[in-house]
Amino acid sequence: SKNNNADTTDITSGTLRCTHDRIDDKYNISYSYDFSFTDSKLKKLSYVEATVGDALVDADDLKTKLDNCNNLKSLTNSLAGIRVICSLSNGTLTREQIFNYEDIDVSTVSSAYVEAGGEYPGEFQNDSNIDTIEKNMKAAGYSCERKR
């Protein structure tokens, strides 16, 4: 019988959220991956990177990061299955990359995207096994949770 610390691996369709916070010499950066899956197969990923700085001290650097993000966004407008959303507010730069794996042509996308300065997470692809993804993300130091 199942005990109370319910194992969520029995959620085979839903969202796996993995998060990790990192502090570098200048910023607090939080990474958040939302993997949408059906029948334990990956369909979509929303990857958010939030860089928290000082609105005044880091203004120029954050503006440069925002410009880079917007540049990536415009370069990916023509790529099927990828959306980039950029925002800068009160010293926090947010860059969201949405990969709809069912619509992505991997061969075109990975090179074009990387050339544009995006990190194309090539280890994830349409129908990737969600259990494997969860195991690998946890091994990389992320905390993960499944939701229906």
pLDDT tens for 31-73 read: 999 999 999 999 999 999 999 999 999 999 999 999 999 998 9
Quote the pLDDT of residue 7: 56
Mean pLDDT, range 121-133, rounded to an integer: 86
Interior/surface letters 84-123, b for 16+ CB within 10 angstroms, e for the rest: bebebeebbbbbbbebbbeebeeeebbebbeebebebeee
Beta bridge partners of residue 127, listed in sequence order: none
Mean pLDDT, range 85-107, rounded to an integer: 91
